[in-house]
Structure 1
Amino acid sequence: MPIRYMLKQIFMPPGVLFLLLVLAWWTRRRFPRFAATCFVAGLGGLWVMSLPVSVEWAARLLEREPALVEAQWGTLAQRADAIVVLGAGRAQGDPAWNGDQPSLLALERMRYAARLSKASGLPLAATGGLHFGQPPSEAALMAEVLEEDFGVAVRWREEASRTTWENAQLSAALLQPQGIRRVLLVTQAWHMPRARWCFEQAGFEVIAAPVGFLGVPNGRPFGGWLPEGKALWQSGLLLNEVIGLALYPVLNGTP
């Protein structure tokens, strides 16, 4: 895990863009044209990825599933057997809570899953293993918060997965022997295409329940053309999804 984490931070933005800037400085005298190219690519990449308007446009390409219609929430029990909410990391050692808590992305998913569960009566399953190999599992944290803060019990916990693919495969091993074949899948809208594909490959019939849409009007001054730190983080999430969509069929043996 540490090596995988390190490689990801180096070769994914913004790490790779900073490397380009360092390379530009290092080669500026011997290879000025090459250095200029690296400088433009590094600085230009940082600028584009930090624009809210870039996040908005990129997200629209990934967010293919429409939001559920609230008026139909009460009928979801006729179409699905359970709700599956995917983990999304955790915030470690928050003194306000005297321990770890689900990440902001996970909380967004959990709030939506809780609302859907109350409206439909469907039971909840939480999936997510150890974050960076440290207990408690993401599923355990989500179950605790869902019950204490949202008043919804989690019936199933899948606590060993490390990736979206493993979320699906290990959830299938847990749920399908109990007759759960149709799932209402809760995750961010930009993550839904990869999540749906993984759960369908695992044998589930999936009803998408996306939340946290980014491909909406950004509402920033000047239309979102000014750099913003949050946009840089969001752009990294979206780029990770694009790479995941391209690599998952190859890495998991699907033509």
Structure 2
Amino acid sequence: MPIRYMLKQLLMPPGVLLLLILLGWWARKRFPRLATSAFVLGLGGLWLMSLPAVMQWSASLLEREPALAESQWPSLAQRADAIVILGAGREQNDPGWGRTDQPGLMALERLRYAARLARASGLPLAATGGLHYGQPPSEAALMADAMRRDYGLEIRWLEEQSRTTWENAVLSAELLQAQGVRRVVLVTQAWHMPRARWSFEQAGFEVITAPMGYFSTSYERPLGGWLPESRVIWQSGMLLNEAIGLLAYPIVYGREAATSIKLQAASKSE
């Protein structure tokens, strides 16, 4: 397993919060003030991450792209050249599927939505997603297999090398723009859409957003969402990871994006 994945697991919640609790336990005798602070931060962070009300509010800050109305789906054929589905992990060695890898649950959500859009619009499909720790098949290949078997639709283009959202965009541009695809309908979770849209626009695409899988959708919960729920910890972790990525991408990839934009402008002027 690459070291960066291990570091990410430790430095992102809930890993870092558990480390704080362990630090508090280790320092309880020699450094009581440090121990108290570590316990408060660790336990307090876990508690906040488990509250639906906090998670939904956090999601509302990221989920700014409106959903596509079903009445808009057929007209996508006049507004775009292709539908692009972003990969979203995998489930490994599932006995129910003959110990083969399958698309992750979020990827399945994206596939289902993209299938509906493709049937309504007639647009061709592309999938982007690379290898998991370097092991084939790629996420894109898994999605193509599921789309074929479950929905009877073929994914025309497979980008199979990317590991990040930025690479999703850049490598998809290399594959698709050479074939005249510049206007894309982008399918991913609503909370992931701002970073995905930024990346694909920097790579030279005109983007129509097709968000789904909203976390901010409110529904009745005990005490208005102020009781802890285990699933919410995972959702909060995804949101925090997304917020950090959204802030970091312009810093990390901004210069590369600016160079790409200049090259695109030069090619259009020729």
TM-score w.r.t. structure 1 length? 0.98
Q: Distance in 2 between matches of 1:222 and 1:232?
A: 18
Q: Counterpart in 2 of 1:212?
A: 213
Moved over 6 A (4+): none
Is the Cα contact below 8 Å between 1:194 and 1:244 reproduced in 2?
A: yes
> Is 1:117 matched up with 2:144?
no
Q: Answer yes or no: is 1:37 the counterpart of 2:37.
A: yes
1:61-72 equivalences under 5 Å are 61-72=61-72
In structure 1, the partner of 2:88 is: 88
Match in the other structure for 1:59 = 59
* Equivalence for 1:187: 188
In structure 1, the residue matched to 2:49 is: 49
**8 Å contact kept, 1:84–1:126:** yes
* Alpha-carbon distance between aligned partners in 1 of 2:117 and 2:253, rounded to the nearest angstrom: 31
Percent identity reads 70
- Distance (whole Å) between structure 2 residues aligned to residue 223 and residue 153 of structure 1: 43
Structure 2, unpaired ranges of 5+: 259-270
SS in 2 for 1:88: coil
**RMSD (Å) for aligned C-alpha atoms:** 1.0
Deviations 1:137-190 (A, max 9, x none): 000000000011012110000000000000000000000011000000000000
**For residues 86 and 227 of structure 1, what CA distance do their matches in structure 2 show?**
31
Q: CA deviation at 1:251?
A: 1.3
Task: Indicate if the aligned counterparts of 1:56 and 1:218 stay in contact, CA closer than 8 A.
Answer: no
CA displacement at 1:218 relative to structure 2? 4.0
1:219–1:131 CA distance, 2 compared to 1 (3 A): farther
**Aligned residues of 1:52 and 1:218 also touching (Cα < 8 A):** no
C-alpha contact (below 8 Å) 1:53/1:218 kept by paired residues = no
Match of 2:204 in 1: 203
Counterparts of 1:85-164 in structure 2, within 5 Å, are 85-98=85-98, 99-164=100-165
Provide the residue aligned with 2:222 in structure 1: 221
- Letter of the structure 1 residue corresponding to residue 93 of structure 2: G
Match of 2:229, as an amino acid?
A: E
Amino acid at match of 1:252: Y
Equivalences, count: 255
With the length of structure 2 as denominator, give the TM-score of the two structures.
Answer: 0.92
1:170 corresponds to 2:177 = no
> For residue 23 of structure 1, what is the aligned residue in structure 2?
23
1:76-127 per-position Cα deviation (integer Å, ceiling 9, x unaligned): 1110000000000000011111111000000000000000000000000000
